[in-house]
Chains A and B, each alone.
Chain A
Amino acid sequence: MSDEDLQLKYTPTTCPYCGVGCGLNLVSRGNTLVGVEPYKRSPINEGKLCPKGATCWETVQKPGRLTRPLIKKNGKFEEATWDEALDLIVSKFTEISKKGGPRALGFQTSCRTVNEDCYAFQKWARCGFLTNNVDNCARICHGPSVAGLSLSFGSGAATNPFEDVLNSDLIVMWGSNAVEAHPLVGRRVMQAKKKGIPVIVVDPRRSPTARLADKWIQFNPSTHIALANNMMYYIIKEGLEDKEYIRERTKGFDDLKKVVEKYADATNIHGVPQETVQEFARQYANAKNAVIIYCLGITELTTGTDNVRSMGNLALLTGNVGRPGVGVNPLRGQNNVQGACDMGAYPNVFSGYQAVAVSENRAKMEKLWFLKEGSLPDWYGVTLTEQINQAGDPIKAMYFLGLNPTVSYPDSNHVRAQLQKLDFCVMQDIYWNESCEFADVVLPGTCFAEKDGTFTSGERRVNRVRKAVDGPGESKYDWEIIALLAKKMGLKGFDWKSAKDVWDDMRACTPGLFGVTYEKIEKPEAIHWPCPTIEHPGTPILHIGKFSAADGKGTMFGLEYRPPAEVADAEYPFTLMTGRIIFHYHTRTQTDRSQTLHNDVPENYVQMNTQDAKELGIKPYEKIKVISRRGESIAIARVTDDLAPKVMYMPMHFYKGANQLTNTALDPLSKMPELKHCAVKVEKITEA
């Protein structure tokens, strides 16, 4: 036995997968990760984990990690020194920006990486190239939440912490399959149910979460607004609205009333019997404290922002915002989707949602970032998938930090074709992924187990990430790579020595996060932002007494139902929904490297209704071809009655899977593509 055999180190840190932010202990012996052990001290998950969290260590030190910078020469990637790679990036980006201006570049960061990386990345893009063309992948999950909740409540974040559902009298889960997508929030709902708190799940599919419910309300895919308006029609008709709350704390009631009056009976749209709608409306309005938890079923549609605002409408109409046990809570998808937005990796705001359009904000940042007065741009930068659309014209160079756009963005064929049009492309990641072949330079970054930093979870809790082991080969901290690029360009303000230095740089220019110091988040209780001063204890519940909006009011909106951009027709008769499964995370770059997770779901599948399968002569577990106007995908048929006839469901995780089929049509307000709804047809695969 070597000395390493008598070492055992526990590093308490935060899970790298979903937005719940579970605590866990990484166990290492020397520089080798050997396991995950429960961190029972964490108030978020009390040591409990889902299949992904429990195996997150397995994916860190597997073969295939990027260990040296790679430069593409004559179509082949060759290993290079850091200096060569960074010099090339600086010269290309500088040249292209000189020629094409700030709109010729696109910057995209992952929500998987730490806040410190996200802040450094947008600071470099903004300081180095005076552009707002910087975005993160929140755009394609909860962009509509940021937009919608900001319009409704004045803040685009979840109103109440996860554990607070235990203080509720009614839990409504709408378009959220938390048991699979946010399992440790699913656990809170299980706890609530054990306590006797009723749970209603609104979902077109009988998901594992729907199975948990006291009542499952099945409705037609993507008809949220019709259903919500129909409910509000009854609430107002029966006088169940919270009149005092509406008077004191909100505006827009008349506007709302006028529209919902038209939804006296919308069963023809949403498919739910009127008695059920009426009963649901009464139950929600009469509950002393009712909370709505929603997720991507609400957001990933061309009506995403309006769907979110409809949830806001329901809560405001019944006075269910601003105290324990109530609220409207989006379950943020990725571990740091809240944080990446908070850090200002967003095309219209600096960190802490300080709008770039406001000249005082720009002037402040220019001063803190050592920039010339009046140099920062005021225009709304180009968003994530729009950057892809603009690849080639006017965007000539793009930088991707921790992203796999050819798999995770809608319409993969389109993404691949667009990336081909770039003059220069950089991918910074931990593993070689399907998109790397489109890069000119590939840089080796480090993963959560190899660096210090913070993730901000879906309940606005800033959780610490702690380094357990060194990254492989010549890999570097991602913020460090960005700082090196900035310094090569001669920029000031990038002399960070540690992740804490980056965090403190961010705090200095972000009022809502100023009080969140590393010292204060040493214990796993951590801090929920806003936290403006060192003495401030943080804000677990938003909008108490007053909404975050400038006028302090919550706003209700009259919103009309609009059908999805592409609906089933004679040629493509099925509606395809997409979603997440518990065994995988996004494009499986990490989860498929765990033997356990791979064994559970090694390949793509699609759920379809028993009757449809019978009519098409499809047997359970038969491989079938699913075809949309944009592409096709092969999947194993899981035949089930959990879906209505003519509705199908495919997980989004697989290469040449769901996103071969999905639609790029955008929500006009948030630019969210319609990932959850498209029309498809099914073909049997004939033996060759």
Chain B
Amino acid sequence: MTKKGDMLYAWTNDAEIQKKAELGGAVTTLWKYALESMTVDAVLAVTKGVDLYDAVPVIITDPKDLAKTAGSLHCGTLLMAKLVKKFLDGAHDKKIGVTVKGCDAMAFYELAKRKQISLDNIVMIGVNCGGSVSPVTARKMIKEKYEVDPEKVHKEEIDKGQFIIEYEGGHKGISVDELEEAGFGRRSNCRRCKMKIPRQADLACGNWGVIGPRAGKATFVEVCSEKGAALVDGAVRMGMMATEPANAKGLEIRGKVESAMFKLGDKWRRHDFEALGEGKERLKKIMSETARCIKCYQCIDVCPICYCVDCTTKNPAYVAPGHLPVPFMFHLIRYAHIADSCVNCGQCEEVCAAEIPNALFMHAQQVELEKMFGHVPGVNMELPLMAYVEEKEERLRLHNTGSDMIYENVFNPFNRKEH
């Protein structure tokens, strides 16, 4: 019996999956089992659109269609959780399996806290993620830094700190550091990310730490929940997949890779946050950058924290409608409502038509709030500070005491335990 906390090597026994599988094919096999056993009604995965730079979400109900989702697309910068909320009714009455990166997993928890997704109906298989590259950046980078026609590339991967491409007539790797120095490489939020192995998923899979005879032929699986354990047991029981305990040395190597990634993440955090300055200087920078906003509302639309039908930014009492430049209050509302729970998924920045580093601003604030109040978003179901307030109670308190200090009790961390 597999149990939570197990560290395994796993590989597929399925002949079809073996043909396509990368590094053991455990993820595809587990989904095949999940669909066949009706553990899930559908799998939300990613497939290639017009080419390997184009990641398109796809709903799979027939296990035969899983083949087209195999392999990773580092140009896939989708956020799966918000898609489940928007287009799959928050999984409130269907069971859905999803392959998740760190940011996806964190987003699922945040949306679940806000009752926008039924986490009970979600099975998450996490995959290690060292970061992703926006498709147009990737193509430019391949053309300019690799001097290869991006149309000729048929495979890309990130391995041992290098972004490697395979193309007609060869392969080429350049270190991610070098690419990022040149203004290419991963999205800026990915550089700052420290959610490399998503352990809040049911299983955390990847190739880090697979060594010895299984190297390149097995998937590393960390079992993170009972749901995850059941999935592994089921697939093994059906003979679809085989496992063995992970090599101890491999485990150590996996830990080293992860901590190297953390160090890199810390380096980028220092780099990005220090450039913002502090206090008034930081505020000034934020105000001048956000002054370009064209009010497309896309940062709100893609945000895994936003869900309100009547968004406060549309309330004329706060933000005068129909004006460019957009009043700064628009952005203040976003910071006030989101910063405590920002998971640094980067979507708001990637879709910003005005080139505002939205994710950087929000992430910078989240990190400060975490220091102050100790709330870590995206890792479990613990509610953010603001959620401890019952609006009616709060209004009554203000009325009774004559105070105008909204949420005073919440923002005083010493009182927190009483709630």
Residue from the list A5, A42, A583 in contact with B322, Cβ < 8 A: A583
Using known A-B contacts A46-B134, A179-B324, determine if residue A51 contacts B294 with beta carbons closer than 8 Å.
yes
A1 to B93, CA, bound (A): 7
Tell me the bound Cα distance from A244 to B297 in angstroms.
Answer: 50
Which one of A134-142, A180-188, A679-687 is at the interface? A180-188
Asked if A190 and B89 make an inter-chain contact with CB atoms under 8 angstroms apart, the answer reads: no
Given known contacts A1-B93, A51-B297, is B50 in contact with A522 (CB within 8 Å)?
Answer: yes
How far does the alpha carbon of A37 sit from the alpha carbon of B86 in the complex, in Å?
Answer: 11
Question: Contact at B352–A596, with CB atoms within 8 Å?
Answer: no
Q: Which of B340-397 contact A (CB under 8 A)?
A: 350-355
Partner of B298, one of A48, A208, A211: A48
Interface string of A176-202 (1 = CB under 8 A from B): 000110011011001100100000000
Asked if residues B314 and A599 are in contact (CB atoms below 8 Å), the reply is yes
Closest residue of chain A to B134 (Cβ to Cβ) is A40
A184 and B86 contacting across the interface, CB-CB below 8 Å: no
Tell me whether A211 and B325 are in contact (CB under 8 A): yes
Contact at A35–B353, with CB atoms within 8 Å?
no
A523 touches B87 (CB 8 A): no
When distances are taken between beta carbons in the complex, the residues of chain A under 8 Å from B58 are 8
With CB as the reference atom, state the residue of chain A lying closest to B301: A54
Tell whether, in the assembled complex, residue B51 and residue A8 are in contact, meaning their CB atoms are under 8 Å apart.
no
Given that A35-B87, A50-B296 are contacting pairs, would A6 and B324 also be in contact in the complex, using a CB cutoff of 8 Å? Answer: no
Contact B354 A187 (CB under 8 A): yes
Known A47-B350, A54-B301, A211-B325: A187·B355 in contact at CB below 8 Å:
yes
Whole-angstrom distance from the CB of A620 to the nearest CB of chain B? 11
Interface-central residue, A40, A191, A211, by most chain B CB under 10 Å: A40
Task: Give bound CA distance, A184 to B296, whole Å.
Answer: 11
Q: In the complex, how many residue pairs between chain A and chain B have their CB atoms under 8 Å apart?
A: 125
Would B324 and A54 count as touching, CB distance under 8 A? no
Q: How many chain B residues touch A (Cβ–Cβ < 8 Å)?
A: 45
CB <8 Å contact, A43 and B294: no
Q: CB distance B292 to A6 under 8 Å?
A: no
Contact partner of B295 among A1, A38, A582, CB < 8 A? Answer: A582
In the complex the two chains form, what is the Cα distance from A371 to B295 in whole Å? Answer: 53
Docked Cα-Cα span, A524 to B324, in Å, equals: 30
Asked if A10 lies at the interface with its beta carbon under 8 angstroms from chain B, I say yes
The smallest C-beta distance from B161 to any residue of chain A, in angstroms, reads: 25
The size of the chain A interface, using a CB distance under 8 A, is 50
The residue of chain A having its C-beta at the shortest distance from the C-beta of B296 within the complex is: A51
Collect the chain A residues with CB atoms within 8 Å of residue B134's CB.
40, 46-47
Q: Which of B312-331 contact A (CB under 8 A)?
A: 314, 321-322, 324-325
Chain A hits for B355, CB < 8 A: 187, 190-191, 194
Is B56 among interface residues, defined by CB-CB distance under 8 A? yes
Q: Which chain B positions have C-beta within 8 A of A10? A: 49, 56-57
B51 neighbours in A (Cβ, 8 Å): 41, 523
**Does residue B410 face the partner (Cβ distance < 8 Å to A)?**
no
Whether the pair B136, A40 counts as a contact (CB closer than 8 A) is yes
CB < 8 Å neighbour of A40 from B77, B295, B314: B77
Q: Assess whether A582 is in contact with B324, with CB atoms less than 8 Å apart.
A: yes
Q: Per-residue CB proximity of A1-42 to B under 8 Å, as 1/0?
A: 100011110101000000000000101010000110110111
Q: Knowing A41-B53, A186-B294, A523-B50 touch, does A27 contact B87 (C-beta < 8 A)?
A: yes
Q: Are B321 and A601 in contact (CB under 8 A)?
A: yes
B87 & A54 in contact (Cβ 8 Å cutoff): no
Contact of B298 with A8 in the complex, beta carbons under 8 Å: no
Chain B residues, Cβ within 8 Å of A605: 322
With A40-B136, A41-B54, A48-B352 known to touch, is A5 a contact of B89 (CB < 8 Å)? yes
CA distance A473 to B150 in the complex (A): 44
Question: Interface residues, chain A, CB within 8 Å of chain B?
Answer: 1, 5-8, 10, 12, 25, 27, 29, 34-35, 37-38, 40-43, 45-51, 53-54, 179-180, 183-184, 186-187, 190-191, 194, 208, 211-212, 522-524, 581-583, 596, 599-601, 605
Excluding A186-B353, A187-B354, 5 further A-B contacts by CB distance (< 8 Å) are: A35-B87, A41-B50, A48-B298, A54-B298, A208-B294
Q: Which residues in B have some Cβ–Cβ distance to A below 8 Å?
A: 41-42, 44, 49-51, 53-54, 56-59, 61, 77, 83, 86-89, 93-94, 134-136, 139, 291-292, 294-298, 301-302, 314, 321-322, 324-325, 350-355
Mind listing 15 A-B residue pairs with CB under 8 Å?
A: A1-B89, A6-B88, A8-B57, A8-B58, A8-B59, A10-B49, A12-B54, A38-B351, A41-B54, A48-B352, A48-B353, A50-B294, A51-B294, A190-B292, A600-B295
Ranked nearest first, the 10 interchain pairs of A and B with the lowest CB-CB distance are A601-B322, A48-B353, A41-B54, A208-B324, A600-B322, A8-B59, A46-B136, A41-B135, A51-B296, A600-B321
